[in-house]
Structure 1
Amino acid sequence: MPPVDYLRISLIDRCNFRCTYCMPENAALQYVQRDDVLTDDEILTVVREIFIPLGFRNWRLTGGEPLLRPGVVEVVRSLAKLPETEDLAITTNAFHLAPLAADLYAAGLRRLNISLDSLEPEIFEQIIGNQGRDRWGQVWEGIQTAHRVGFNPLKLNVVVIPGVNDHEVEALAALSIEQEWHVRFIEFMPIGNPELFGARAWIPSEELRQRIRQRWGLETSQVRGNGPADVFQIPGAAGTLGFISQMSECFCDRCNRMRLSADGWLRPCLLNETGQINLRQGLRDGIAIATLRAQVAELLALKPEINFKARESGTTTGHYHRTMSQIGG
């Protein structure tokens, strides 16, 4: 197992989209109360005093939609200027990106992961649960603005839902040909909308790769990221294609990350709720930083046993009390 040095930090659990695979329209979500959200100072404290001493060097800001967080640019600036920071990224739906892109870049952000599940506005609106509101155009403008500002390469995330957007795999893959954009196809997971998952299930990454091979050919790429994607490239393309295959090709033995929710719960595995620690409560109760750090270190040592593959041995039920937006992705 590689060193665990990558922390995903959720800045907010709210989102302006209601993506069907994340927080479906009919879901009765209980949002975190404002007073229970980690403050900017608390985020910096846990990063500097707990995670950096334990070897963490890579941070990804998530949500919900992180660009809805007031002062997000200042959070970016504070993390970017830490001397230990090796990589800092944001995952966003890009709806609010166009007016913020230049400020985020100036604050030190260099990498963006943007959710783009469809190139067809009607399908896009269907997936995000905002039919008829013409959100696709504003998201596309956010992507184009980020590219003009200097974010290069851009990474585009696609959750593939059978019968909804799987017919667009080739069109989305083609975005990597002319631009140095990295398109990531993500297998649909049973978090957020188990009813849709049960009805639609998921498509193994190898099936998607075979379709792309038949169209253009496909070769292994030398580009590697911080995540679990298996990375390929259309011959001669400027960008890459990644496949995140958490359902068909277990990558628990390569997992290098932990997740911190907006309300301060540290989660060692996306698909397993075992072993979580409430760091917010610990900070506010005055528990010594050294004690909290020791608790996190102990959880790190247990992480290989907590990873999702352990579900088969009965250590977790496979029922998830939080949606993807509440966990932080």
Structure 2
Amino acid sequence: MQLADSYGRVATDLRVSLTDRCNLRCTYCMPAEGLAWLPRPEILTDSEVLRLVAIAVTRLGVTEIRLTGGEPTLRPGLVSLVQAITALVPRPEVALTTNGLLLGGSGGLAGALAAAGMDRVNVSLDTLRPDRFGEITRRHRLDDVFAGLEAAARAGFAPVKVNAVLMRGVNDDEAVPLLHWCLDRGYELRFIEQMPLDAQGGWRREQMVTAAEILDRLAAEFTLTPAPGRGNAPAELFTIDAGPGQVGVIASVSAPFCAACDRVRLTADGQVRDCLFARTESDLRTPLRSGADDEEIAARWVRAVRAKRAGHGIDVPGFVQPARPMSAIGG
């Protein structure tokens, strides 16, 4: 079986949210007081996560697992879960998207995750300025992010990828400084357009810095050459000044790549989402806990993905933001 939709797309990349909780309070994601977190009994256990991932990998053709949140490093037992996933046959690629706070320092997770078989790490970083970091995240922990990035590089993750969201009037003057900073340290930077996934419903298109604007700003400082072979990747890559450095731009809103999408999402409470902007979900937790066998769960998953829409619909009149914010969906 494959996770194929009616438009011929096949999902091979599974994004698994391990928690909706986070240790930052980014203004474009959630309010200062946080959110009403999912009750603990509703969260999939480690064994349930592993079983669903195993079904996806061994029965449904999934080849890549990305662990997300919320903040996935808050999940107890993360290292053991990574070990179990990388032991599956066939072995999937395993990646992590994190804010980096818990990767470095005493007891940091970077080395343990590398030893467990983690293949890749993406760390979110929207600014290099401590004051601005505090304003955006409502926490003064920029040094912890820097330490986490350094720990990830020491642990052998290469390249360490950095995700940045530029916001008009907030940090949109940092496109060039962020790229210089990442190039100097061997990190690979990805700019991501701000998407309508905040819990407050405050996203406005006119406040979003578009991919075209970002590229214009970078082109004033660097020579950018499109890299070949994008495939299903969300980022359009550019070689910088003849290489070897690269930068990526993910134009989720202004130039969506829905026609090539190969992703499917599993929320921390066991719901399948066939699109980041889906308005409906398919429940796998209930049959999982009711004794359904792997074949039945796989069949439910196949049916869920078959109904995927042609696109996310942000530009369609009447677009409605999904009820779950990004922190409760998983990137």
Query: Hey, what does 2:65 align to over in structure 1?
Result: 59
Quick one: which of 301, 321, 324 aligns to 1:322? 324
CA deviations 1:35-57 (Å, max 9, x no partner) are 11111111111122245311111
CA deviations 1:46-102 (Å, max 9, x no partner) are 122245311111000001111111010001111112122331100010101011111
Quick one: which of 181, 186, 191 aligns to 2:192? 186
Measure how far apart 1:311 and its partner are.
7.2
Tell me, what secondary structure is at the counterpart of 1:166? coil
TM-score calculated relative to the size of structure 2: 0.91
Question: Would the aligned equivalents of 1:179 and 1:238 in 2 still touch at CA under 8 Å?
Answer: no
Task: Name the CA distance, whole Å, in 2 between partners of 1:115 and 1:212.
Answer: 19
Task: Name the CA distance, whole Å, in 1 between partners of 2:171 and 2:289.
Answer: 44
What's the RMSD between the two structures over aligned residues? 2.1
CA deviations 1:95-144 (Å, max 9, x no partner) are 010111111110001200000111111111111122xxx30011101101
Query: Hey, what does 2:290 align to over in structure 1?
Result: 285
Calculate percent identity across the aligned residue pairs: 38
CA deviations 1:1-20 (Å, max 9, x no partner) are 55310000011111100111
Tell me, what secondary structure is at the counterpart of 2:66? strand
Unaligned runs of 5+ in 2: 1-7
Task: Name the CA distance, whole Å, in 1 between partners of 2:313 and 2:146.
Answer: 37
Tell me, what secondary structure is at the counterpart of 1:232? strand
- 1:309 is aligned to 2:313: yes
Q: Do the aligned partners of residues 259 and 15 (structure 1) sit closer, same or farther apart at CA in structure 2, a change above 3 Å counting?
A: same
Measure how far apart 1:200 and its partner are.
5.9
CA deviations 1:161-194 (Å, max 9, x no partner) are 1111110000112234344321110111111155
Task: Name the CA distance, whole Å, in 2 between partners of 1:37 and 1:195.
Answer: 25
Question: Would the aligned equivalents of 1:154 and 1:182 in 2 still touch at CA under 8 Å?
Answer: yes
TM-score calculated relative to the size of structure 1: 0.91
Q: Do the aligned partners of residues 302 and 32 (structure 1) sit closer, same or farther apart at CA in structure 2, a change above 3 Å counting?
A: same
Question: Would the aligned equivalents of 1:10 and 1:262 in 2 still touch at CA under 8 Å?
Answer: yes
Query: Hey, what does 1:112 align to over in structure 2?
Result: 121
- 1:10 is aligned to 2:17: yes
Question: Would the aligned equivalents of 1:14 and 1:31 in 2 still touch at CA under 8 Å?
Answer: yes
Tell me, what secondary structure is at the counterpart of 1:59? strand
- Count, aligned residues: 321
Query: Hey, what does 2:254 align to over in structure 1?
Result: 248
- 1:157 is aligned to 2:159: no
CA deviations 1:215-254 (Å, max 9, x no partner) are 1111112475863111112114433111111110021101
Tell me, what secondary structure is at the counterpart of 1:174? helix
Unaligned runs of 5+ in 1: none
Question: Would the aligned equivalents of 1:268 and 1:306 in 2 still touch at CA under 8 Å?
Answer: no
Q: Which has the higher helix share?
A: 1
Task: Name the CA distance, whole Å, in 1 between partners of 2:211 and 2:56.
Answer: 36
Task: For 1:119, give the aligned amino acid.
Answer: L
Task: Name the CA distance, whole Å, in 1 between partners of 2:317 and 2:52.
Answer: 33
